[in-house]
Chains A and B, each alone.
Chain A
């Protein structure tokens, strides 16, 4: 390499919009990493996803359906705690193995459900949990015995989360929660809710919120299903009527629940969508098989120029998405601050999912809307299901509009609208 005369090697870091002069990312897998991927594939051969009936529906993110039995199998294998510190029963294995695990599970369409939600909760418990959460709840996460739902949104608090009104009043050693949460995924088939509630009135709306871990069977909880546009139940609304929880079920610090939520948001978005690219890869492969086996107008669909061109362009977008997530993953792993990158990646993941499923609906033609209940449904009805669920993805976990604003203001330094 040449080393020409140079004035200032750090000049590259100056521009505010220059978000990515250099990419830090995994450009290839090491021998250890390749061996781990093979190990996960062997696990999947021993535990074929098809043999695990779902306990909760597949939301289409790539995390598959919820199967409690499959989650326990993952726990028994040690996969759920492999990255944890040793003193919490972990093996301190590198983060990239978690990425490989999620990638393999998504490629196989495994019913691992909200695994990353449990994983994120475990991280917070390890970092900031009370003795109760660390000794009683954490080991059960590691064994795949418990899952969580998020009690953030309320009927009057969607994108404007800070307008939430659920309250948790301190009464001795307990909190008494009163309020109404909604759009909580899998709440009815999970064990604990992470309920964000106001614990004090502060001048700033962002202060005085606390996160509490609430067991589903606590008296006063009323968890009601919301039927979604697929006809199945994915979301629930939860009424909390003087629900009493011991104070040591607090996750993080009192009054700083929103700050903790914000701090974790960037990595949450990453973990919540990392498996989207492999999931879309799986769908793309199924579409290729379909196009190779389906004749229309006297010719194979696979030989149709528009089909070839369309699927090729989508394949390129999926690969770009995969590498974008690996880049954000590398940022998280090396401790580089994530400013807007995971927001950008989520927008891309969810819009690409919509694009691919819309293309797939066209590809399947008149049979596209048939559900798995029909023997005529192509690809067992997965396309219509993915098409419908994809509509929710650009809304859940931060709408694409909120996220684009985040990219513009935090990432590009544009002035705030207010």
Chain B
């Protein structure tokens, strides 16, 4: 099949680039991300644009898009350096809630589609492993959630949490409001762009209504949803790397040393060529995997290849770009480090390189 963007996809990209350039300038205002300064305003604008409901059917107030649309948008978000709960809430949590099909979940999804609610994902624990065996936090229907989750991104912005818990039936997903008594947040300060939290659950009571999907089948539901998250994060990295390339080329053309633009020196030219290689070779892999996911084809390996490769290639772009920018790239006010840190965070989210490498190792037939 010959893939070219539909008119709608082109419009989505153009609109995204335009909107994000205006509302999320790369030069962050002092005091943090625009989203965190005024969450309501920006997030509801994303809702008005139809982005938070991109995966949501029209009858629930969404915009009937596909994962390929999400990937195109996520790349623009990466390019804009936007750090947000978009992937967790509008992609992973949304697909989980849509999968469960109950009326209450549909209501939550409709609100999320409009940009009125945000849902965070509480999955990782002490081991940091994205495996069902690593889920130790206890949770039984009619009982309570007890334990803690780590590295929960944007927990402070979230209205709800999806929690993977271990009960007698195995791993079950629970969908609970974040303010339920017994839930507490502790910040986990990180050098990367994300805001991460330790979320503790102290005897948080659970009823049957809190179960998301089937009891004991939580990981079966979570696995494909995390794959969508991995795809979106891969695209985000490609976008951030593309922005780094753009900035580096711009800088190489205008920064003059020894009487000529530094971009006229082969050392810089070849470094920039390597940046281009990283970006251009990662993007087709991500689009290919997203297309497979959209078509409902088996894509576990493709997603692992895309996330693993994009993670390594885009991180290399960020690191090499520091050498092109020289001292100015070391400054807080220069955007390079923010894009770099965004790539670091995205590379670790929804399966780090080790995680995806293991999927690939099995797929290529290693015993």
Please report A residues at the B interface, Cβ cutoff 8 Å: 1-9, 11-12, 15-30, 284-285, 288-289, 291-292, 300, 302-303, 307-309, 311-313, 315-317, 319-321, 323-324, 326-327, 330, 340-341, 344, 347-348, 401, 403-405, 407-409, 411-417
Known: A17-B276, A409-B269. 11 other contacts (CB 8 A): A2-B50, A12-B14, A23-B3, A24-B3, A24-B4, A25-B2, A285-B365, A320-B285, A405-B273, A408-B270, A415-B260
In contact, B11 and A4 (Cβ under 8 angstroms): yes
Neighbour of A414 across the interface among B63, B249, B305, CB < 8 A: B249
In contact, A1 and B13 (Cβ under 8 angstroms): no
- Whether, in the assembled complex, B209 has its beta carbon less than 8 Å from a beta carbon of chain A, the answer is no
In contact, B5 and A22 (Cβ under 8 angstroms): yes
CB contact under 8 A between A405 and B64, given known A11-B14, A24-B2, A312-B358: no
Please report B residues at the A interface, Cβ cutoff 8 Å: 1-15, 17-18, 49-50, 54, 63-65, 69, 242, 245-246, 249-250, 252-253, 260-261, 263-266, 268-270, 272-274, 276-277, 279-285, 287-288, 291-292, 295, 297, 304-305, 308-309, 312-313, 353-354, 356-358, 360-361, 363-367
CB contact under 8 A between A323 and B284, given known A7-B18, A414-B264: yes
Shortest distance in angstroms between A317's beta carbon and chain B's nearest beta carbon?
A: 6
Bound-state CA distance A234–B112 (Å) is 64
CB contact under 8 A between A319 and B269, given known A313-B357, A344-B277: no
The residue in B4, B12, B360, B366 that gathers the most chain A C-beta atoms within 10 A of its C-beta is: B366
Which A residues are in CB contact (< 8 Å) with B367? 291-292, 300, 302-303
In contact, B308 and A313 (Cβ under 8 angstroms): yes
What would be 29 A-B contacts, judged by CB atoms less than 8 Å apart?
Answer: A1-B9, A6-B18, A9-B7, A11-B18, A15-B246, A16-B249, A19-B280, A20-B283, A22-B5, A22-B10, A24-B2, A26-B2, A288-B365, A300-B367, A307-B366, A309-B357, A312-B366, A316-B305, A317-B309, A320-B305, A326-B284, A344-B276, A344-B280, A404-B270, A408-B263, A408-B272, A412-B272, A413-B249, A415-B253
In contact, B272 and A3 (Cβ under 8 angstroms): no
Shortest distance in angstroms between A399's beta carbon and chain B's nearest beta carbon?
A: 11
What is the count of residue pairs linking A and B with beta-carbon distances less than 8 angstroms?
A: 223
The residue in B6, B268, B367 that gathers the most chain A C-beta atoms within 10 A of its C-beta is: B367
Bound-state CA distance A195–B4 (Å) is 41
The residue in A1, A285, A307, A405 that gathers the most chain B C-beta atoms within 10 A of its C-beta is: A1
Which A residues are in CB contact (< 8 Å) with B313? 320
A414's nearest neighbour on chain B, judged by CB, is B263
In contact, B18 and A327 (Cβ under 8 angstroms): no
Neighbour of A324 across the interface among B18, B261, B274, B281, CB < 8 A: B281
CB contact under 8 A between A347 and B273, given known A12-B13, A25-B3: yes
In contact, A4 and B2 (Cβ under 8 angstroms): no
Shortest distance in angstroms between B37's beta carbon and chain A's nearest beta carbon?
A: 24
In contact, A4 and B3 (Cβ under 8 angstroms): no
Neighbour of A291 across the interface among B245, B261, B312, B366, CB < 8 A: B366
Top 10 closest A-B pairs, CB basis?
A1-B8, A408-B269, A312-B360, A414-B263, A407-B273, A312-B357, A323-B284, A404-B273, A316-B309, A2-B50
CB contact under 8 A between A341 and B280, given known A2-B65, A412-B272: yes
B291's nearest neighbour on chain A, judged by CB, is A27
CB contact under 8 A between A347 and B277, given known A8-B14, A23-B287, A312-B364: yes
In contact, B288 and A323 (Cβ under 8 angstroms): yes
CB contact under 8 A between A323 and B269, given known A27-B291, A28-B1: no
In contact, B283 and A18 (Cβ under 8 angstroms): no
Bound-state CA distance A311–B357 (Å) is 9
Bound-state CA distance A21–B10 (Å) is 10
In contact, A27 and B287 (Cβ under 8 angstroms): yes
A408's nearest neighbour on chain B, judged by CB, is B269
Which A residues are in CB contact (< 8 Å) with B270? 401, 404-405, 408
Neighbour of B265 across the interface among A19, A24, A309, A417, CB < 8 A: A417
Bound-state CA distance A390–B4 (Å) is 35
Which B residues are in CB contact (< 8 Å) with A404? 266, 269-270, 273-274
Which A residues are in CB contact (< 8 Å) with B252? 414
Which A residues are in CB contact (< 8 Å) with B361? 308-309, 311-312
Bound-state CA distance A207–B344 (Å) is 51
Which A residues are in CB contact (< 8 Å) with B353? 313
Bound-state CA distance A411–B264 (Å) is 14
Neighbour of B11 across the interface among A9, A19, A313, A407, CB < 8 A: A9
In contact, B65 and A1 (Cβ under 8 angstroms): yes
A96's nearest neighbour on chain B, judged by CB, is B2
Shortest distance in angstroms between B93's beta carbon and chain A's nearest beta carbon?
A: 20
